[in-house]
């Protein structure tokens, strides 16, 4: 039997009150993407169809975030949070007619890997009717405990609040992720789930005991605790971030990049890093960044939505903002900020500079303290600097303005008009000297002082 038609339902209707946040829990970010997006990506990578996401009333932003990952998703609204079984019921229009298995996942377990979901599909292939991902918890508090019969078969799940003291001592726990052989079987189990328990909720976990009563095959796939960490608080969010960063660093190093002090570099879920890249300590990389082969990022840089071409060097202390595109062998040095600008091959912007809404031609040299004045308080304007141009230190280029190829801007100029190719533009007060002025003043002041 092939599992290609497996379908996933992701529950995300809970408010996540322990986050103490105006933002719904599953929209809190890990490595630059909402937790929910990580779950959706793992589902896709496992070859499972992303069927639907269950949200609460008024949680349009959660639906939007899900749709931005996959526009084909169905968003279901669970009117009242009556429990996880009720949430799955809310999504039943999404799976009722499905021919393959149905997986139920929670939006707050963002570290789940596709490999583990594939192992679950494998158990279904091998004949299981209901599969639960379980894990051995150091501290099982708050989790449902897995119960086994005398033959070692999964017999049920007991929620913490309903557990006896002996059951609470068990440490093999429910991750929350469950798979059902068929939509029909899931619907039949859901119909039998009641709310006669400590919380008065409809627990999806009751499906396990009901399945056993119906003589169905129940199995557990074990995962490590880290992978199924449920994020309920800011502290758990930080723990999950640490795990995510460790994974990203490991894969980036495995691809041939050197991280001098790996634990000080922060990546995003989509950071692309080539070979023979060196990243020095204390670098933060936001979403949408591509770093090609042979790039050096020196210490203390902040980079987001930027492309860095092969052999380029950036930093120390540089900031690349969205739309910064550095071509091959470009140099961006210390205390330089670049936004929405192309820096062509071999161009140098080495010190104390702001380049925004601009293009810099190949091999141009931008002197220390150059500012592109791109904003007049109302709109943004472009600055175009030609190939091989030389911008003297401390120049202001008031956009919109074009500096031709090979042109030369004298230091300290304020440039408000286009400069033709190969011309010199000087725009600063001419220098004036007063012979002997300093000596005269000094002599006078010294005399007054000694009186």
Catalytic positions are: 351
Name which position in 49, 54, 208, 248 contacts ligand UD1 (CB under 6 A). Answer: 54
**Contact partner at residue 104 from Ca ion, ligand UD1, none, CB < 5 to 8 Å by partner kind:** none
The alpha carbon dihedral of 154, 2, 39, 96 has a sign of negative
Residue closest to ligand UD1 (Cβ): 144
> Are the C-beta atoms of 389 and 361 separated by less than 8 Å?
yes
User: Considering the rule CB under 6 A, would residue 180 count as an interface residue with ligand UD1?
Assistant: no
Q: Which of 82, 163, 188, 225 binds ligand UD1 (CB under 6 A)?
A: 82
Nearest CA to 343 out of 385, 399, 286, 401 is that of 385
The pair of structure tokens assigned to 76 is 């279901």
Instruction: Please tell me whether residue 107 binds ligand UD1 under the rule CB under 6 A.
Output: yes
Contacting ligand UD1 within 318-337 (CB under 6 A): none
Cβ distance to ligand UD1 smaller for residue 26 or 391: 26
Give the whole-angstrom CA distance, residue 342 versus residue 233: 41
Tokens of residue 62, six digits: 């959660």
Q: What is the helix (H) or strand (E) element at residue 302, kind and residue range?
A: strand 302-303
Cβ-based nearer residue to ligand UD1, 140 or 361: 140
Binding ligand UD1 by CB under 6 A: which of 108, 123, 241, 357?
108
Which entry of Ca ion, ligand UD1, none binds 310, CB below 5 to 8 A by partner kind?
A: none
Q: How far is the CB of 361 from ligand UD1 (least distance, A)?
A: 52
Told to check if 306 binds ligand UD1 by CB under 6 A, we report no
Give the DSSP per-residue string, 375-428: B-SS-B--EEE-TT-EE-TT-EEESSEEE-TT-EE-TT-EE-S-B-TT-EE--S
- For the CB of residue 18, give the shortest distance to ligand UD1 in the complex, in Å: 9
Among 6, 7, 11, 362, binds ligand UD1 (CB under 6 A): 11
- CA 85 – CA 450 distance, rounded (Å): 94
Region 337-396 residues binding ligand UD1, contact defined as CB under 6 A = none
* Between 18 and 328, CB nearer to ligand UD1: 18
Q: Smallest gap, in angstroms, from Cβ of residue 80 to ligand UD1?
A: 8
Strands 74-77 and 258-259: unpaired
Residues that bind Ca ion (CB under 5 A): 230
Shortest CB 31 distance to Ca ion, Å: 20
Using the rule CB under 6 A, which residue among 216, 230, 350, 405 binds ligand UD1? 230
Closer by beta carbon to Ca ion, 105 or else 399: 105
Closest by CA position to 215, among listed 292, 289, 128, 297: 128
Residue 236 CA from chain centroid, whole number: 17
* Nearest distance, CB of residue 373 and Ca ion, angstroms: 51
Nearer to ligand UD1, 88 or 415 (CB): 88
287 binds, options Ca ion, ligand UD1, none, Cβ within 5 to 8 A by partner type: none
Is residue 276 left, alpha or beta, with left meaning phi > 0 and alpha meaning psi from -120 to 50? Answer: left
Supply the minimum distance, in Å, between the C-beta of residue 156 and ligand UD1.
Answer: 11
| Token pair listed for 272 | 């692309």
Cα distance between residue 343 and residue 89, in whole Å: 54
| Residue appearing with tokens 């739309």 | 323
Q: How far is the CB of 16 from Ca ion (least distance, A)?
A: 8
Q: Which residue is nearest to Ca ion (CB)?
A: 230
Q: Which one of residues 174, 313, 359, 395 is an interface residue with ligand UD1 (CB under 6 A)? A: 174
Cα angle: 267, vertex 271, 276; to 5 degrees:
95
CA distances from 159 to 41, 108, 168 (A): 29, 18, 9
Under rule CB under 6 A, residue 203 binds ligand UD1 = yes
- Taking the C-alpha atoms of residue 130 and residue 162, their distance in angstroms, rounded to an integer, is 22
Q: Given the rule CB under 6 A, which residues bind ligand UD1?
A: 11-14, 54, 78, 81-84, 86-87, 106-108, 143-144, 157, 159, 173-176, 203-205, 230
């Amino acid at each position: 039997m092939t599992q290609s038609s497996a379908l996933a339902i992701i529950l995300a209707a809970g408010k996540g009150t322990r986050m103490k946040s105006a933002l719904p829990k599953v929209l809190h970010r890990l490595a630059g993407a909402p937790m929910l997006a990580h779950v959706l990506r793992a589902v896709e990578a496992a070859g499972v169809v992303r069927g639907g996401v269950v949200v609460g009333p008024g949680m349009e932003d959660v639906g939007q975030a899900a749709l931005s990952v996959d526009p084909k998703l169905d968003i279901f609204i669970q009117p009242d949070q009556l429990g996880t079984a009720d949430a799955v019921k809310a999504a039943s229009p999404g799976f009722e007619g499905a021919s393959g298995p149905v997986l139920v996942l929670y939006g707050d377990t963002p570290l789940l890997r596709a490999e583990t979901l594939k192992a679950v599909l494998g158990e279904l292939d091998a004949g299981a009717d209901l599969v639960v991902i379980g894990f051995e918890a150091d501290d099982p508090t708050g989790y449902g405990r897995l119960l086994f019969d005398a033959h070692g078969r999964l017999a049920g799940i007991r929620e913490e609040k309903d557990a006896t003291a002996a059951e609470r001592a068990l440490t093999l726990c429910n991750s929350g992720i469950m798979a059902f052989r068929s939509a029909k079987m899931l619907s039949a189990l859901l119909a039998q789930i009641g709310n006669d328990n400590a919380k008065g909720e409809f627990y999806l976990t009751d499906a396990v005991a009901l399945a056993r009563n119906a003589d169905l095959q129940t199995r557990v796939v074990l995962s490590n605790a880290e992978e199924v960490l449920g994020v309920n608080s800011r502290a758990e969010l930080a723990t999950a971030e640490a795990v995510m960063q460790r994974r990203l660093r490991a894969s980036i190093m495995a691809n041939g990049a050197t991280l001098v002090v790996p634990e000080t570099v922060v990546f995003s879920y989509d950071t692309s890093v080539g070979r023979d890249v060196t990243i020095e300590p204390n670098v933060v990389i936001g979403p949408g960044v591509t770093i090609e082969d042979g790039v050096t990022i020196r210490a203390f840089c902040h980079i987001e939505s930027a492309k860095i071409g092969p052999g380029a060097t950036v930093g120390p202390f540089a900031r690349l903002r969205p739309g910064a595109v550095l071509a091959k062998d470009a140099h961006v040095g210390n205390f330089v900020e670049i936004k929405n600008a192309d820096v062509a091959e071999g161009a140098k912007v080495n010190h104390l500079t702001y380049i925004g809404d601009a293009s810099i031609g190949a091999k141009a040299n931008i002197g220390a303290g150059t500012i592109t004045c791109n904003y007049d308080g109302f709109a943004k304007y472009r600055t175009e600097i030609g190939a091989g141009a030389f911008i003297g230190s401390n120049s202001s280029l008031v956009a919109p303005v074009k500096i031709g190829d090979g042109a030369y801007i004298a230091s300290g100029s304020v440039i408000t008009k286009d400069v033709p190719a190969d011309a010199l533009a000087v725009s600063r007060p001419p220098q004036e000297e007063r012979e002997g002025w300093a000596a005269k003043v000094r002599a006078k002041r010294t005399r007054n002082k000694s009186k």
